[in-house]
């Protein structure tokens, strides 16, 4: 058993029994759901919006190379730099070199899942740089020294009282200052000094606009705007798949992302950044760098079946509607991207052997596919991932043998009928003699928490044969 599987099983089991945690998450998602439903009403047709968004992103993915080159040319023409990072290490090294060259001592970051993906925070700290997360939720989990719980709302698992205690301990906020307003203002105050002194600002990107050659960043707090405005160097760290062909596509994608992500009609700051400070501008960074990360994405691109996962706009909606995510939360996955999209994408990016089990952590209910604003066929991809796990023989031996036996059993009706009848007898025998859910009970994974129907004396086919065929077929 791989270590990732083992830690997943432990964490998932623990989380599945943690009802208070589930309630916190459910309460938060209840608010989200109401906003989402109201948000979708703002569209004349939500399904048409999804359909067009899929078409646009599918085109972006199908012409990825051309669009990226177009994007790069425009950025370069304004004096910006574009770096193509093949791996996480390439991305980290480039940013660390840049920091060294610029004599940077402290870095201000705004939310970026790609920076989580390449473990940038740890790399910056390792190089002796102070790196502060400026998004409030991200800052809270940074103070707790844990990864984000959710790709859009990183601190959704925490209660206000926990955050108040954390701020008291780490920031020295007064004991009574525990309202959401107080805590937000404490973070704002703390962060203002960091913005002013940071030698480098690092943001992610929501979209890369090919025809305009600009990076689109969506946020509510204004921290990304500040990150892109105050420090002398601005670095955008993002994946190559974030391309959108046209500036005008944002008229759909900004409202779509906001609605799916938070239920808002549009987020507070929807910004486009195309370079460093230009001649005649009052302020802005001296240097502007875009780091385009591959890190396995081109491998996904080569997979015709699951290429559409590169359409993902990281809205988090599939997590929000996922009953498994509701139950085990974001940390149990042990990966940067959690929930359905994480369960589909992580095995593709990082291998079935270590992460294939995530595709099995789903009841395949399809709520993710139903909500996905770019129509990624998420739950069917989970089955395809499972197929690949089976083909690569990374599934447990009992399952592999069991499935062979299943096929053998079901390949002959008489064999099936005889053995199933025997199994019913054995099951009745077991029910009579083995306490349900006890360690001796082979069906314990089911019976530990659920009854199983008592096997009938007569199967349907036996009944049919007795009542219908004896009477000479149907009436």
Residues 124-163 that bind other proteins (CB under 8 A): 134-137, 140, 153-156, 158-160, 163
| DSSP label of 377 | -
Say if residues 224 and 217 touch (Cβ distance below 8 Å).
yes
DSSP-derived letter for residue 43 is S
> Which residues are paired to 244 by β-bridges?
209
* Separation in Å, CA 19 to CA 67, 326, 329: 47, 10, 11
Smallest distance, other proteins to C-beta of residue 366, A: 4
Contact flag: residue 385 with other proteins (CB under 8 A) = yes
**According to CB under 8 A, which residues from 404 to 443 bind other proteins?**
404, 406-407, 409-413, 416, 420, 423-424, 431
Please tell me whether residue 468 binds other proteins under the rule CB under 8 A: yes
Rounded to the nearest whole angstrom, what is the least distance from the CB of residue 103 to other proteins in the complex? 18
Least distance CB 242 / other proteins (angstroms):
14
Could you give the 3-state DSSP secondary structure of residue 275?
coil
Nearer to other proteins, 44 or 128 (CB): 44
From the list 90, 146, 354, 441, which residue makes contact with other proteins (rule: CB under 8 A)? 90
Binding to other proteins, residues 183-212 (CB under 8 A)? 183-185, 187-188, 191, 196, 212
Binding mask 35-54 for other proteins (x = CB under 8 A): -------xxxx--xx--xx-
96 versus 409: smaller Cβ distance to other proteins: 409
- Phi/psi at 453 (nearest 5 deg)? -55, 140
Q: Please tell me whether residue 107 adopts helix, strand or coil conformation.
A: strand
Query: Which DSSP symbol is given to 474?
Result: -
Token pair 């099983």 is found at 9
Q: Say how far apart CA 82 and CA 214 lie, in whole Å.
A: 12
Q: Which long-range contacts (CB under 8 A, 24 or more apart) does 363-368 make?
A: 363/323, 363/324, 365/323, 367/318, 367/321, 367/322, 367/323, 368/317, 368/318, 368/321, 368/322, 368/339, 368/340, 368/341
Figure out which of the listed residues 130, 354, 441, 458 binds other proteins, where binding follows CB under 8 A.
458
Q: Which is nearer to other proteins, 9 or 128 (CB)?
A: 9
Q: Which residues contact 195 (CB under 8 A, 6 or more apart)?
A: 108, 134, 226, 227, 230, 231
Of 169-177, 254-262, 312-320, 339-347: span binding other proteins (CB under 8 A)? 254-262
CB 127 to other proteins: min, Å = 20
C-alpha neighbours within 13 Å on the C-beta side of residue 115: 28
Query: In terms of CB distance, is 176 or 451 closer to other proteins?
Result: 451
Distances (CA, A) of 15 to 12, 54, 425, 449: 5, 34, 37, 16
Among 71, 83, 333, 337, binds other proteins (CB under 8 A): 83
Q: Which of 146, 252, 350, 351 binds other proteins (CB under 8 A)?
A: 252
Residue 299 near residue 354, CB atoms below 8 Å: no
Q: Name the minimum Å distance from CB 336 to other proteins.
A: 19
Q: Candidates 124-132, 312-320, 336-344, 363-371: pick the segment binding other proteins (CB under 8 A).
A: 363-371
The CA-CA-CA angle for residues 125, 128, 133, to 5°, reads 40
Min CB(217)–other proteins separation in Å = 9
Could you say whether residue 403 binds other proteins (CB under 8 A)? yes
Q: Binders of other proteins among 3-22, rule CB under 8 A?
A: 12-13, 16-17, 22
**Least distance in Å: CB of 81 to other proteins?**
10
Q: Please tell me the count of residues contacting other proteins according to CB under 8 A.
A: 169
If one asks whether residue 389 binds other proteins (CB under 8 A), the answer comes out as yes
Report 207-246 residues binding other proteins (CB under 8 A). Answer: 212, 214, 220-223, 225-226, 228-230, 240, 245-246
* Residue 188: both structure tokens together: 């704002």
Please state the closest distance from residue 134 (CB atom) to other proteins, in A. Answer: 7
């Amino acid at each position: 058993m791989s270590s990732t599987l083992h830690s997943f099983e432990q964490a998932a089991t623990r989380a599945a029994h943690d009802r208070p945690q589930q309630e916190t998450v459910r309460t938060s998602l209840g608010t989200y759901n109401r906003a989402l439903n109201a948000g979708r009403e703002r569209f004349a047709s939500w399904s048409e919006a999804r359909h067009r968004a899929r078409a646009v992103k599918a085109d972006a993915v199908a012409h990825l190379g051309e669009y990226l080159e177009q994007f790069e040319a425009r950025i370069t023409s304004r004096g910006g730099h574009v770096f193509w990072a093949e791996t996480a290490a390439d991305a980290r090294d480039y940013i660390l070199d840049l920091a060294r060259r610029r004599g940077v001592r402290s870095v201000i970051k705004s939310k970026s899942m790609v920076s989580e993906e390449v473990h940038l925070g740890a790399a910056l700290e390792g190089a002796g740089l102070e790196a502060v997360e400026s998004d409030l939720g991200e800052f809270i989990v940074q103070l707790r020294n844990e990864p984000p719980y959710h790709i859009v709302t990183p601190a959704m698992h925490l209660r206000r009282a926990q955050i108040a205690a954390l701020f008291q301990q780490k920031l020295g906020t007064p004991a009574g200052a525990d309202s959401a307003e107080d805590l937000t203002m404490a973070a704002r105050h703390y962060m203002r000094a960091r913005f002013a002194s940071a030698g480098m600002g690092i943001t992610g990107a929501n979209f890369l606009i090919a025809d305009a050659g600009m990076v689109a960043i969506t946020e509510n707090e204004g921290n990304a705007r500040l990150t892109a405005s105050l420090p002398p160097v601005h670095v955008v760290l993002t994946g190559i798949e974030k391309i959108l062909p046209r500036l005008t596509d944002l008229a759909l994608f900004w409202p779509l992302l906001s609605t799916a992500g938070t239920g808002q009609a549009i987020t507070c700051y929807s910004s486009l950044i195309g370079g460093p400070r230009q001649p005649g501008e009052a302020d802005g960074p001296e240097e502007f760098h875009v780091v385009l990360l591959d890190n396995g994405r081109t491998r996904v691109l080569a997979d015709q079946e699951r290429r559409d996962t590169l359409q993902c706009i990281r809205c988090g909606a599939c997590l929000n509607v996922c009953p498994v995510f509701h139950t085990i939360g974001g940390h149990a996955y042990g990966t940067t991207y959690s929930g359905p999209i994480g369960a589909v994408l992580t095995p593709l990016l990082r291998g079935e052997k270590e992460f294939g089990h995530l595709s099995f952590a789903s009841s395949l209910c399809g709520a993710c596919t139903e909500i996905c604003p770019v129509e990624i066929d998420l739950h069917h991809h989970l089955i395809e991932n499972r197929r690949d796990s089976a083909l690569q023989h990374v599934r447990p031996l009992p399952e592999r043998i069991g499935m062979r036996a299943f096929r053998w059993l079901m390949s002959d009706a008489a064999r099936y009928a005889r053995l199933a009848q025997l199994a019913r007898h054995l099951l009745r025998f077991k029910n009579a003699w083995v306490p349900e859910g006890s360690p001796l009970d082979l069906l314990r994974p089911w019976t530990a928490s659920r009854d199983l129907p008592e096997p009938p004396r007569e199967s349907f086919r036996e009944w049919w044969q007795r009542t219908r065929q004896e009477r000479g077929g149907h009436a």
